[in-house]
Chain A
């Protein structure tokens, strides 16, 4: 049995233990750490300030080591390596023999040789003990300075703020985080830090730490000074390689045990991992590369596998610094590489984003995100996997307001091999497997099964997206089928009906279904039949939901409401009078709707044909308020009256409403036309919105109000009316053909692979070559339009269905109304 001794017990040391346990290594493992507690999460050290709970940061408790047969020795420092006889001795003179030795000694804070650095009140930011000392000292201090404006320095600044100290950050370079972000980004970050009350001093070389025994301030080489009670030094790290020097191991010029790609030091029995290892003259000060190194060593020890090697590591990183998102990936500067930088600097919202694109515009070289790093995971993946960029790379970082960003690049675009969690080296495929094969359904399940997101946690948003996406893709398989009577999707049903020229539900059930149907498939097929043939829905009224069956909206008490069509919201006084008279005669409650129409409530079933007889006589048509169909096209008053109006929005709205009236769709459809950019018709809150521009019209699609409001997005800009109609024909027909049941345009659009860009290609560029077909399908529907109410009142068979009792002419005697505010209301149920 091989004896493994691991020196140091930090995150990477722990990870090595974990991997050895996982790989069922038979080795006997001894871990010797100088800190008093088992390895803890140093990445989230500043969290300790929030609750002073060290347990929360612990990677695994002492029991874990015991339970896995690992001998964990704490508070003991290895002082010497005897390479010839293969043992180490500790400062208490204990002796541990090894077959393999792993040095995981990590790093210590680099303390620059500044005069007075030994004074009381000067701290480094590295261990929980450091924090405890700082906190104790901080109680009697009122101000603190942090030396170093890098990642760790800003973390330390957060710690100082949490201690309620007036905090300054002192950086030698002319900007913050000089190794990760560029000048513009640094400036924005500086402003953000200052907003949080942190003073940022740049370009300052500290020459002296002032004070007697205790420090009282800092003096800078430019002659200025800062009065401050304590100083936290966070000016970089130094690899802990002192053991190697004595033992004659090769040490790199800038520190660290020199290792090869198998993590072997100059003595092949001795490995080095983590921040104490120098690979190709580079110290990797992040946890993810450390874990990768641990894997390399674990493979050799447990599986004798020398194929898996360390080849360097991407230093991309995303963090939340004092509540500010900061991320950089790849080469953030591309100083010596030909590239095009694309950047936005939104000073108002404090967002800076930059991506570096190669000269051919084909792939990402790197980038910086500050203030909003939501796109980090996706961008990082695109970089790592050298994925092809969308046609307009700027879409990757510029979101139009209220829209999900990222040019429709969903996680489904990622290859299965994409590494999602770099800390634990978990690929997208691993995550998908845990969901698909092991039935994991939530984030915690994924963490347990794959360890993804258990390191820095930065990948969690992406893991969540993959989870949702995968579940959805699985869910669709289950949900896709309409119901127990039809083993088909809506789209398949659409094709079955169309190709086989099915004209009724009964026929479809007979040929393709089973059982007696139900309240799910019946209205759905009713809607499809109407969408395809636009035949009168009353011909098979009993498959319709009650609203479609009685061509009115059922309300409390079993009465219905009636909405005559008022295209574009334009109505003559004469017609208004008719509505008033009808309402009066049948004692109907009247209310103006949100879609610029008038709703008449409280109509009894038997009265519906009588009411419509009057309305049809006066020239009204059904408003289809009861159907999953076009409702209204709302308009502003437009150029005819309005001094700002550019074009005749009312006229266009009427034209569009009349074109699509009666159009049956997966869900209700609403439109809007505005005469200028002021958008008084709220057209972008509709399924389709048309807004006048100087040059023509902008066509927006996929908006809605309701529980989950969405703004419609631009499909085409500055187009003429004919093109608006052409695109709308195509868009609506494409939606009708491919959406899920009861799915409105916005969610349908979001689910479309490729998003709005894809939609633009299909609709405007006719990339699928179906444009003409869609237009023709629409033409057929428009040609078949008949007012359903006009047909119903003129057909005695249909008309006879509008009674409450089939054996009695009376109204439902149980209906009860009351009077309020001069109108008739139903009594509450």
Chain B
């Protein structure tokens, strides 16, 4: 999977990820859409939602959704730490914050009537 930072205007499909209660507070869970695994994070403390690829680029494990989330620096960059080796990635830009791993893909996300939607770019 190559890195993309999917922006709102590129979204072709909004995929229903689940009810907000399916995602633990200040944590994440992964969803399966076709053969794609997407990590969805419910960052309650800063009242934001994020979606990224579930694969950690370091050891190519489907794991990021199980990582601890937090913020970094004065800009309060939201991030997720991979459970395996604590590689951290920005939840906004997908950039690896503590090393030189490949960036991860991030997806737009929205909540409507307590339902979580992830925005994907699908080939027509």
Residues in A lying within 8 Å of B, measured CB to CB: 484-485, 506, 509, 515-519, 521-523, 541-546, 549-550, 554, 556-558, 801, 803-808, 810, 812-815, 829
Contact = CB atoms under 8 A, between A and B. Distances in A.
Interface in B11-46: 17-18, 22-32, 35, 37, 40, 43, 45-46
Interface stretch (B2-10, B61-69, B99-107): B61-69
A808 B31 contact: yes
Contact of A557 (B22, B61, B71, B81): B61
Given A805-B30, A812-B62, A543 B68 contact: yes
Given A484-B73, A522-B68, A805 B31 contact: yes
Interface string B42-79: 01011000000000000111110011111111001011
A485 B24 CA distance: 21
A546 B66 contact: yes
Contacts of A807: 17-18, 22, 31-32
Contacts of B72: 484, 518
A829 B60 contact: yes
A603 B15 CA distance: 30
A804 B45 contact: no
Contact of B24 (A541, A557, A812): A541
A541 B45 CA distance: 15
B31 A546 contact: no
Given A804-B30, A807-B17, A518 B62 contact: no
Given A506-B45, A541-B27, A558-B63, A519 B68 contact: yes
B18, B59, B69, most chain A CB atoms within 10 A: B69
A656 B95 CA distance: 48
A484 to B, nearest CB: 7
B88 interface: yes
Interface of B: 17-18, 22-32, 35, 37, 40, 43, 45-46, 59-63, 66-73, 76, 78-79, 81, 83-84, 86, 88
A519 B81 contact: yes
Contacts of A516: 43, 45-46, 69-71, 76, 78
A806 B29 contact: yes
B66 A519 contact: no
A829 B61 contact: yes
B32 A805 contact: yes
A656 B22 CA distance: 41
B26, B68, B88, most chain A CB atoms within 10 A: B68
Nearest to B70: A518
Nearest to A800: B22
Nearest to B45: A516
B79 A518 contact: yes
Given A805-B30, A806-B18, A808-B31, A558 B67 contact: no
A801 B86 CA distance: 21
A805 B83 CA distance: 17
B61 A542 contact: no
A332 to B, nearest CB: 56
25 contacts: A515-B76, A516-B78, A517-B45, A517-B70, A519-B68, A519-B70, A541-B27, A542-B25, A542-B26, A542-B28, A543-B68, A545-B83, A549-B66, A554-B84, A557-B61, A558-B63, A803-B29, A804-B62, A806-B29, A806-B30, A807-B22, A808-B32, A814-B37, A815-B62, A829-B60
A668 to B, nearest CB: 18
In the complex, the 10 A-B pairs of residues with the closest C-beta atoms, listed nearest first: A542-B27, A518-B70, A516-B71, A546-B83, A519-B81, A806-B29, A519-B68, A806-B22, A515-B71, A808-B32
A554 B83 contact: yes
A522 to B, nearest CB: 5
Nearest to B46: A516
B70 A558 contact: no
B68 A806 contact: no
A805 B29 contact: yes
Contacts of B26: 506, 517, 542-543
Given A484-B72, A506-B26, A554-B83, A546 B61 contact: no
A542 B22 contact: no
A554 B79 CA distance: 21
Contact of A542 (B24, B35, B40, B59): B24
A515 B76 CA distance: 6
Contacts of B59: 829
A810 B66 contact: no
A523 B86 CA distance: 13
A792 to B, nearest CB: 14
Contacts of A554: 66, 83-84
A517, A543, A813, most chain B CB atoms within 10 A: A517
B61 to A, nearest CB: 6
Given A801-B24, A806-B23, A518 B29 contact: no
A556 B84 CA distance: 9
B69 A558 contact: no
A521, A807, A813, most chain B CB atoms within 10 A: A807
Contacts of A515: 70-71, 76
A541 B63 CA distance: 16
Contacts of A557: 61
Contacts of B24: 541-542, 801
Contacts of B18: 806-807
A812 B62 CA distance: 8
Contacts of A549: 66
Contact of B61 (A558, A805, A810): A558
Nearest to B19: A806
Nearest to A546: B83
Given A506-B45, A542-B26, A806-B22, A518 B81 contact: yes
B32 A810 contact: yes
Contact of B66 (A518, A543, A550): A550
A507 to B, nearest CB: 12
Contact of A522 (B32, B66, B70): B70
A407 B15 CA distance: 67
A522 B43 CA distance: 14
A515 B72 CA distance: 8
A522 B79 CA distance: 13
Contacts of A558: 61-63
Contacts of B78: 516
A795 to B, nearest CB: 14
Contacts of B66: 546, 549-550, 554
A810 B32 CA distance: 9
A506 B66 CA distance: 19
Nearest to A815: B62
